[in-house]
Amino acid sequence: MLHVHAVFKTYPTAQGPLAVLRGANLHMQQGESLALMGESGSGKSTLLHLVAGLERVDSGSIEIAGERLDQMNEGQLANWRRTQIGLVFQQFNLIGSLKVEDNLAFQARLAGRFDPEWQAQLVLRLGLAELLKRYPEQLSGGQQQRVAIGRALASRPALLLADEPTGNLDEATSDDVLQLLLELLNDSPTSLLMVTHSPRVAGRLSRQAVLQRGQLAAGEAR
Ligand SMILES: Nc1ncnc2c1ncn2[C@@H]1O[C@H](COP(=O)(O)OP(=O)(O)OP(=O)(O)O)[C@@H](O)[C@H]1O
Ligand SMILES: [Mg+2]
Protein backbone atom coordinates (compact mmCIF):
# COMPACT_ATOMS: atom_id res chain seq x y z
CA MET A 1 0.00 0.00 0.00
CA LEU A 2 3.04 2.30 0.45
CA HIS A 3 5.66 2.49 -2.30
CA VAL A 4 8.58 4.86 -1.87
CA HIS A 5 10.64 4.67 -5.05
CA ALA A 6 14.09 6.24 -5.71
CA VAL A 7 13.41 9.24 -3.48
CA PHE A 8 16.01 11.99 -3.26
CA LYS A 9 15.80 14.87 -0.77
CA THR A 10 18.46 17.53 -0.28
CA TYR A 11 18.36 20.45 2.15
CA PRO A 12 20.26 23.68 1.57
CA THR A 13 22.50 24.47 4.55
CA ALA A 14 25.12 27.10 5.34
CA GLN A 15 27.78 24.50 4.48
CA GLY A 16 26.14 23.74 1.13
CA PRO A 17 23.55 21.18 0.03
CA LEU A 18 22.95 18.28 2.41
CA ALA A 19 21.79 15.14 0.57
CA VAL A 20 19.66 13.37 3.20
CA LEU A 21 17.85 10.80 1.06
CA ARG A 22 19.72 9.37 -1.91
CA GLY A 23 17.57 6.93 -3.78
CA ALA A 24 15.53 5.60 -0.86
CA ASN A 25 13.18 2.69 -1.59
CA LEU A 26 10.55 1.33 0.78
CA HIS A 27 7.57 -0.92 0.23
CA MET A 28 4.88 -1.78 2.75
CA GLN A 29 1.80 -3.95 2.51
CA GLN A 30 -1.59 -3.15 3.97
CA GLY A 31 -1.80 -3.93 7.66
CA GLU A 32 1.97 -4.28 8.01
CA SER A 33 3.91 -2.55 10.80
CA LEU A 34 7.42 -1.38 10.06
CA ALA A 35 10.02 0.00 12.45
CA LEU A 36 12.28 2.65 10.91
CA MET A 37 15.65 2.84 12.61
CA GLY A 38 18.94 4.61 11.94
CA GLU A 39 21.36 7.04 13.52
CA SER A 40 20.36 10.50 14.59
CA GLY A 41 20.39 12.71 11.49
CA SER A 42 20.06 9.80 9.07
CA GLY A 43 16.79 11.18 7.68
CA LYS A 44 14.05 9.19 9.44
CA SER A 45 11.86 12.19 10.26
CA THR A 46 12.53 13.59 6.79
CA LEU A 47 11.19 10.40 5.23
CA LEU A 48 8.11 10.49 7.48
CA HIS A 49 7.43 14.11 6.55
CA LEU A 50 7.66 13.23 2.86
CA VAL A 51 5.28 10.29 3.23
CA ALA A 52 2.88 12.50 5.22
CA GLY A 53 2.94 15.06 2.42
CA LEU A 54 4.31 17.70 4.80
CA GLU A 55 7.35 18.15 2.55
CA ARG A 56 8.04 17.36 -1.07
CA VAL A 57 10.56 15.03 -2.71
CA ASP A 58 13.23 16.45 -5.03
CA SER A 59 12.79 13.43 -7.28
CA GLY A 60 11.37 9.93 -7.10
CA SER A 61 7.83 8.88 -6.30
CA ILE A 62 5.67 8.12 -3.28
CA GLU A 63 2.51 6.13 -3.81
CA ILE A 64 0.04 5.36 -1.02
CA ALA A 65 -3.13 3.35 -1.58
CA GLY A 66 -2.80 3.85 -5.33
CA GLU A 67 -2.32 7.64 -5.20
CA ARG A 68 0.84 9.50 -6.26
CA LEU A 69 1.75 12.07 -3.60
CA ASP A 70 4.48 13.65 -5.69
CA GLN A 71 1.90 14.58 -8.32
CA MET A 72 -0.63 16.28 -6.01
CA ASN A 73 -1.00 20.03 -5.55
CA GLU A 74 -1.08 21.61 -2.07
CA GLY A 75 -4.86 21.43 -1.73
CA GLN A 76 -4.94 17.79 -2.73
CA LEU A 77 -2.10 17.05 -0.30
CA ALA A 78 -3.87 18.72 2.62
CA ASN A 79 -7.04 16.78 1.91
CA TRP A 80 -5.00 13.61 1.54
CA ARG A 81 -3.38 14.11 4.93
CA ARG A 82 -6.71 14.67 6.63
CA THR A 83 -8.33 11.55 5.24
CA GLN A 84 -5.54 8.99 4.78
CA ILE A 85 -2.79 9.75 7.29
CA GLY A 86 -2.62 9.56 11.08
CA LEU A 87 0.31 11.32 12.72
CA VAL A 88 1.78 10.75 16.17
CA PHE A 89 4.86 12.66 17.26
CA GLN A 90 7.10 12.49 20.29
CA GLN A 91 5.67 15.75 21.63
CA PHE A 92 2.00 14.65 21.45
CA ASN A 93 0.86 18.02 19.95
CA LEU A 94 -2.53 17.95 21.66
CA ILE A 95 -4.63 21.12 21.51
CA GLY A 96 -4.41 22.70 24.96
CA SER A 97 -7.71 24.57 24.76
CA LEU A 98 -9.73 21.44 23.94
CA LYS A 99 -10.94 18.73 26.31
CA VAL A 100 -9.74 15.18 25.72
CA GLU A 101 -12.99 14.20 23.99
CA ASP A 102 -12.67 17.07 21.53
CA ASN A 103 -8.97 16.46 20.94
CA LEU A 104 -9.87 12.88 20.04
CA ALA A 105 -12.55 13.85 17.55
CA PHE A 106 -10.95 17.00 16.13
CA GLN A 107 -9.22 15.62 13.05
CA ALA A 108 -11.84 13.00 12.25
CA ARG A 109 -14.47 15.77 12.27
CA LEU A 110 -12.33 17.96 10.02
CA ALA A 111 -11.98 15.05 7.62
CA GLY A 112 -15.72 14.38 7.70
CA ARG A 113 -14.97 10.92 9.03
CA PHE A 114 -16.13 11.16 12.63
CA ASP A 115 -17.67 7.86 13.68
CA PRO A 116 -19.16 7.90 17.22
CA GLU A 117 -19.02 4.11 17.53
CA TRP A 118 -15.35 3.90 16.62
CA GLN A 119 -14.62 6.88 18.90
CA ALA A 120 -16.38 5.09 21.79
CA GLN A 121 -14.37 1.96 21.11
CA LEU A 122 -11.09 3.90 21.07
CA VAL A 123 -11.99 5.60 24.36
CA LEU A 124 -12.71 2.26 25.94
CA ARG A 125 -9.66 0.45 24.57
CA LEU A 126 -7.29 3.31 25.36
CA GLY A 127 -8.68 3.64 28.89
CA LEU A 128 -9.71 7.27 28.44
CA ALA A 129 -13.29 7.11 29.71
CA GLU A 130 -12.51 8.88 33.00
CA LEU A 131 -10.41 11.54 31.31
CA LEU A 132 -12.74 12.83 28.59
CA LYS A 133 -13.58 16.12 30.36
CA ARG A 134 -10.00 16.95 31.25
CA TYR A 135 -7.60 19.22 29.39
CA PRO A 136 -4.24 17.93 28.11
CA GLU A 137 -2.25 19.77 30.82
CA GLN A 138 -4.16 17.74 33.42
CA LEU A 139 -2.88 14.43 32.02
CA SER A 140 0.31 12.44 32.54
CA GLY A 141 2.66 11.83 29.61
CA GLY A 142 1.38 8.31 29.02
CA GLN A 143 -2.23 9.50 29.16
CA GLN A 144 -1.48 12.28 26.67
CA GLN A 145 0.17 9.79 24.39
CA ARG A 146 -2.89 7.54 24.47
CA VAL A 147 -5.03 10.54 23.49
CA ALA A 148 -2.63 11.33 20.63
CA ILE A 149 -2.90 7.74 19.38
CA GLY A 150 -6.69 7.80 19.64
CA ARG A 151 -6.82 11.06 17.74
CA ALA A 152 -4.61 9.68 14.97
CA LEU A 153 -6.71 6.52 14.63
CA ALA A 154 -10.11 8.22 14.91
CA SER A 155 -10.37 8.90 11.18
CA ARG A 156 -9.36 5.31 10.35
CA PRO A 157 -6.35 6.36 8.27
CA ALA A 158 -4.78 4.06 5.69
CA LEU A 159 -1.39 4.75 7.22
CA LEU A 160 -0.31 5.73 10.72
CA LEU A 161 3.02 7.57 10.86
CA ALA A 162 4.63 7.71 14.28
CA ASP A 163 7.91 9.51 15.04
CA GLU A 164 9.34 8.08 18.27
CA PRO A 165 5.87 8.02 19.82
CA THR A 166 7.06 6.48 23.06
CA GLY A 167 10.35 8.36 23.27
CA ASN A 168 9.19 10.49 26.21
CA LEU A 169 7.74 7.63 28.26
CA ASP A 170 9.30 5.30 30.80
CA GLU A 171 9.83 1.71 29.69
CA ALA A 172 6.73 0.22 31.34
CA THR A 173 4.40 2.95 30.08
CA SER A 174 5.98 2.78 26.65
CA ASP A 175 5.34 -0.98 26.54
CA ASP A 176 1.70 -0.49 27.56
CA VAL A 177 1.09 2.20 24.97
CA LEU A 178 2.77 0.17 22.22
CA GLN A 179 0.80 -2.93 23.16
CA LEU A 180 -2.46 -0.98 22.93
CA LEU A 181 -1.48 0.53 19.61
CA LEU A 182 -0.64 -2.85 18.11
CA GLU A 183 -3.90 -4.35 19.37
CA LEU A 184 -5.91 -1.51 17.81
CA LEU A 185 -4.06 -1.93 14.53
CA ASN A 186 -4.83 -5.65 14.52
CA ASP A 187 -8.50 -4.79 14.32
CA SER A 188 -8.16 -2.24 11.52
CA PRO A 189 -6.69 -2.07 8.00
CA THR A 190 -4.30 0.70 9.08
CA SER A 191 -0.59 0.17 8.38
CA LEU A 192 2.05 1.53 10.75
CA LEU A 193 5.37 3.19 9.96
CA MET A 194 7.12 3.97 13.23
CA VAL A 195 10.45 5.63 13.90
CA THR A 196 12.15 4.29 16.97
CA HIS A 197 15.63 4.22 18.48
CA SER A 198 14.71 1.26 20.65
CA PRO A 199 15.53 -2.22 19.29
CA ARG A 200 13.14 -3.58 21.91
CA VAL A 201 10.26 -1.54 20.49
CA ALA A 202 11.32 -2.30 16.90
CA GLY A 203 11.25 -6.02 17.65
CA ARG A 204 7.54 -5.85 18.42
CA LEU A 205 6.68 -4.72 14.88
CA SER A 206 6.38 -7.05 11.91
CA ARG A 207 9.43 -5.68 10.06
CA GLN A 208 12.46 -3.47 10.63
CA ALA A 209 14.37 -1.20 8.25
CA VAL A 210 17.49 0.86 8.81
CA LEU A 211 18.18 4.18 7.12
CA GLN A 212 21.86 4.74 6.39
CA ARG A 213 23.72 6.84 3.84
CA GLY A 214 20.41 8.01 2.42
CA GLN A 215 19.08 4.54 1.66
CA LEU A 216 17.03 1.88 3.40
CA ALA A 217 18.23 -1.60 4.20
CA ALA A 218 16.35 -4.45 5.80
CA GLY A 219 17.14 -4.32 9.49
CA GLU A 220 17.16 -6.69 12.39
CA ALA A 221 15.90 -5.80 15.82
CA ARG A 222 18.69 -6.56 18.25
N1 LIG B 1 14.61 21.94 7.06
C2 LIG B 1 15.87 21.53 7.10
N3 LIG B 1 16.87 22.30 6.62
C4 LIG B 1 18.15 21.89 6.64
N5 LIG B 1 18.55 20.68 7.11
C6 LIG B 1 17.61 19.88 7.61
C7 LIG B 1 16.23 20.25 7.65
N8 LIG B 1 15.53 19.22 8.21
C9 LIG B 1 16.43 18.28 8.52
N10 LIG B 1 17.68 18.66 8.16
C11 LIG B 1 18.91 17.87 8.30
O12 LIG B 1 18.69 16.64 7.62
C13 LIG B 1 19.28 15.56 8.33
C14 LIG B 1 18.22 14.51 8.61
O15 LIG B 1 17.32 15.03 9.58
P16 LIG B 1 16.16 14.14 10.21
O17 LIG B 1 15.41 15.02 11.13
O18 LIG B 1 15.39 13.50 9.11
O19 LIG B 1 16.99 13.04 11.01
P20 LIG B 1 16.48 11.86 11.96
O21 LIG B 1 16.98 10.58 11.39
O22 LIG B 1 15.02 11.99 12.18
O23 LIG B 1 17.27 12.17 13.30
P24 LIG B 1 16.83 11.96 14.86
O25 LIG B 1 16.97 10.51 15.15
O26 LIG B 1 17.82 12.79 15.60
O27 LIG B 1 15.42 12.47 15.01
C28 LIG B 1 19.93 16.15 9.57
O29 LIG B 1 21.30 16.34 9.31
C30 LIG B 1 19.22 17.48 9.71
O31 LIG B 1 20.06 18.43 10.31
MG1 LIG C 1 13.84 12.49 13.86
Q: Read off the pLDDT of each residue in 28-56 and give the average, rounded to a whole number.
A: 94
pTM above 0.85, yes or no: yes
Ligand 1: centre distance to CA 11 (Å)? 9
Instruction: In whole angstroms, give the CA distance from residue 66 to residue 110.
Output: 23
CATH of the domain at 124: 3.40.50.300
Position 155, amino acid: S
**Does residue 39 lie in a domain region?**
yes
Position 220 scores a pLDDT of 63
**Does residue 41 lie in a domain region?**
yes
Instruction: In whole angstroms, give the CA distance from residue 30 to residue 14.
Output: 40
**Does residue 222 lie in a domain region?**
no
Task: Please check the confidence at residue 222 and state whether its pLDDT lies above 80.
Answer: no
- By percentage, how much of the chain surpasses pLDDT 90? 64
Nearest to 48 by CA among 75, 76, 69: 69
**Does residue 69 lie in a domain region?**
yes
**Does residue 209 lie in a domain region?**
yes
Nearest alpha carbon, ligand 1 atom 5: 11
Position 99 scores a pLDDT of 97
Ligand 2: centre distance to CA 51 (Å)? 14
Strand 2-13 relative to strand 59-64, pairing:
antiparallel
72 dihedral zone (left: phi>0; alpha: psi -120 to 50; beta): beta
**Does residue 47 lie in a domain region?**
yes
**Ligand 1 pocket, 18 CB below 6 A?**
yes
Position 221 scores a pLDDT of 54
The three-class DSSP label of residue 8 is strand
For the sheet containing 85-88, what is the strand order?
85-88, 159-163, 191-195, 33-37, 207-212, 215-218
Q: 21 pLDDT band (50/70/90 cuts)? A: very high
Collect all residues with Cβ–Cβ distance below 8 Å to 142 and sequence separation of at least 6. 169, 173, 176, 177
**Does residue 178 lie in a domain region?**
yes
Number of domains in the chain: 1
Which residue stretches of 52-90 are H helix?
74-84
Position 169 scores a pLDDT of 78
**Does residue 221 lie in a domain region?**
no
Instruction: Please tell me what DSSP assigns to residue 36.
Output: E
**Ligand 1 pocket, 165 CB below 6 A?**
no
Q: Read off the pLDDT of each residue in 27-34 and give the average, rounded to a whole number.
A: 92
Closest approach atom of ligand 1 to CA 13: 4
Q: Give 215 or 176, the one with higher predicted confidence.
A: 215
**Ligand 1 pocket, 42 CB below 6 A?**
yes
Q: Read off the pLDDT of each residue in 3-18 and give the average, rounded to a whole number.
A: 95
**Domain of 39?**
2-216
Position 123 scores a pLDDT of 94
Position 40 scores a pLDDT of 94
